[in-house]
Structure 1
Amino acid sequence: LAKMDKTLTVTQAPIVVDFNPVADRLRFMTGTTNHRVHPDTGAETVDGVLAFEDGDMHKGETPNIVAAAYTNSIGKPEKTAMYNIDATIGALIQQTKPNDGTLKAIGKLGFKDKPATYAFDIQGTEAGKNTAYLAANKMLYTVNLDTGNATEVGAITRTDKEVRDIAVLPEM
């Protein structure tokens, strides 16, 4: 267990964490801050501020990233892609250059009512298939990584609390 080498500033924004399986680094974001953390040494690298890339319809808007997940997160993949959920626009976002912080809107999730919380993860298989899951409004959804559209899977039961994080096990 490594201790981070710097104290990171945390804002009122949610803390978003996921593991990059290719770089072997922990991605840590809050607000528009964007960091990589070495899991063995705790060394922290400050990356580019989160911002929508040139040509994106949301360029100039402040992103509100509340959840993130990587594709191909099983084994030692050759490549991965990082996806985020933006709560302000209610959309799936791809972090096209995670170290630079550049974001590209993929598409709206399609919720009528804005969820209080979002929890997001992507299940990868050794064959390279990726299925994105989202918990919001006490429902579980799959999310199309090409369009952003969320499709209802079923209700999340046995809790009266909002789900704030999920981890989907690899398909066995």
Structure 2
Amino acid sequence: MKTKALGAALAVVALSPASATAAESLIGISGKSDLVTFSSATPSGIAKKPVTGLQPGESIVGIDVRPADNLLYGLGSTGRLYAIDPARGGVTPVGAGPFGALSGTEFGFDFNPTVDRIRVTSDVEQNLRLNPSTGALANTDGGLAYTAGDPGAGSDPKVIGAGYTNSVAGATMTQLFDIDSGRDALVLQDPPNAGGLKTVGALGLAVQDTGGFDIAPTTQIGWAALRKDGANDAELFQIDLLTGKATSRGRIGGPDPVRALAALGTAQADATAPAGRLSVRASRNLRTLRSKGVSFSVRCNEACTARATVKLGGTTLGTARSTTDLAATVSGRARFTSRGRRALLGRSSARISVTVRVTDPAGNSRTLRRSVSAR
């Protein structure tokens, strides 16, 4: 367990985040270099595609949207800068270098909107600036360190995410916030080039040393993909830039941690029911049917939960539930209850109904039906 000492929070930020009336569309990097997209309203439902076109052995360690051209950029583990196509996952190298050598394993990566430069921070106190037009190192800035008198002074920061406020084209003012997983705190990097860190406040939970962080340009809401200490699943947290408090908005779908995050803008409201095709497998032999139950599968075009109910007339024989975090086939087996098995006793034949209700993370649902005859 990590030992933290936060002390009094620094009250220097003057932000008025917009109310979270609309969901944010977010994109992250998980696994070996997979793009995962999801809505802040329903983070458990993801779309995933691999990043293609990287150099052998290279991975993406940071992503952000550049305010100057509204394109998505990514930082490779070799220090190379890429433009990323979020729809297809393909990358295009930016410039021919020389590229800055990276130090560390976890990185913050964000555009300073006032000067159109990329800030790169790391969990071993690295602090760089990159030129987004050439990909070259613009400057090696002062190492990250807590300022004298701060509650964190004397501790080694472990910055795993960074985000600028007011990240829109033509911005004239901005602030840079970081997440320090070593102290489980939100900090202000001020001045950014000098690397001085000032504690804003505690996240309110202990987190692991892998994650992503960004600040939505239009709402000024901080979003972080983090794993609590001891947890396997990543969660989406809303970060209060005034206090540092992290509020969970739910589990992020998929088995892998998210190590980079970028806000894409307002997410479109999802009012469309998932599309799916239902397949049912069951024995035509009544005795075997009683003992084995009914298997089903549904090919969902998005993240979904399938709830199956098997009935004989008005009697429920058995139920089952299966879930997928992304477009995939969900399957399950409805084994019959003792009551259900008794309902089939003494019958020479039976015609049973299989109803599967398929629901996406936004609550939209579709009902699929099949029937099975046995004797």
Q: Same fold (TM over 0.5)?
A: yes
Query: What one-letter code is carried by the residue in structure 1 that aligns with 2:235?
Result: M
Query: What one-letter code is carried by the residue in structure 2 that aligns with 1:40?
Result: S
My pick for the range that moved more, 140-149 or 23-32, is: 23-32
1:13 Cα shift?
3.3
Q: Give a deviation string over 1:60-115, Cα, whole Å, max 9, x none.
A: 2111111111111122211111000001101101101001000001111111x433
Q: How far apart in 2 are the matches of 1:95 and 1:81?
A: 8
Q: How far apart in 1 are the matches of 2:209 and 2:126?
A: 22
My pick for the range that moved more, 95-104 or 55-64, is: 55-64
Q: Does 1:136 pair with 2:223?
A: no
Query: What one-letter code is carried by the residue in structure 2 that aligns with 1:130?
Result: Q
1:37 Cα shift?
1.2
The equivalent residue for 1:161 is: 256
CA 1:29–1:116 in structure 2 vs 1: closer, same or farther (change >3 Å)? closer
CA 1:131–1:7 in structure 2 vs 1: closer, same or farther (change >3 Å)? closer
The equivalent residue for 1:101 is: 195
The equivalent residue for 1:5 is: 98
Query: What one-letter code is carried by the residue in structure 1 that aligns with 2:223?
Result: Y
**Larger % of strand: which?**
2
For the Cα contact (< 8 Å) 2:103–2:126, is it kept in 1? no
The equivalent residue for 1:14 is: 106
Which of 146, 149, 153 is residue 59 of structure 1 equivalent to? Answer: 153
1:36-115 to structure 2, matched below 5 A, reads: 36-41=129-134, 42-111=136-205, 113-115=206-208
The equivalent residue for 2:271 is: none
For the Cα contact (< 8 Å) 2:160–2:180, is it kept in 1? yes
Query: What one-letter code is carried by the residue in structure 1 that aligns with 2:247?
Result: T
CA 1:4–1:98 in structure 2 vs 1: closer, same or farther (change >3 Å)? farther
| Structure 1 segments unaligned to the other structure (5+ residues) | none
1:152 Cα shift?
1.4
For the Cα contact (< 8 Å) 2:238–2:246, is it kept in 1? yes
For the Cα contact (< 8 Å) 1:18–1:27, is it kept in 2? yes
Query: What one-letter code is carried by the residue in structure 2 that aligns with 1:60?
Result: G
Whichever of the two has the greater Rg, that structure is: 2
Query: What one-letter code is carried by the residue in structure 2 that aligns with 1:136?
Result: L
Which of 245, 253, 259 is residue 149 of structure 1 equivalent to? Answer: 245
CA 1:63–1:170 in structure 2 vs 1: closer, same or farther (change >3 Å)? same
SS of match in other structure, 1:167: strand
Q: Number of aligned pairs? A: 166
Query: What one-letter code is carried by the residue in structure 2 that aligns with 1:145?
Result: L
Q: How far apart in 1 are the matches of 2:182 and 2:223?
A: 19
The equivalent residue for 1:124 is: 217
TM-score normalised over the length of structure 2: 0.42
Q: How far apart in 1 are the matches of 2:237 and 2:264?
A: 16
1:43 Cα shift?
4.1
Q: How far apart in 1 are the matches of 2:262 and 2:104?
A: 23
| Structure 2 segments unaligned to the other structure (5+ residues) | 1-93, 228-233, 268-375
Identity of aligned residues (%): 34
Query: What one-letter code is carried by the residue in structure 1 that aligns with 2:158?
Result: N
Which of 91, 102, 115 is residue 23 of structure 1 equivalent to? Answer: 115
Q: How far apart in 2 are the matches of 1:103 and 1:67?
A: 13
The equivalent residue for 2:126 is: 33
1:116 Cα shift?
4.8
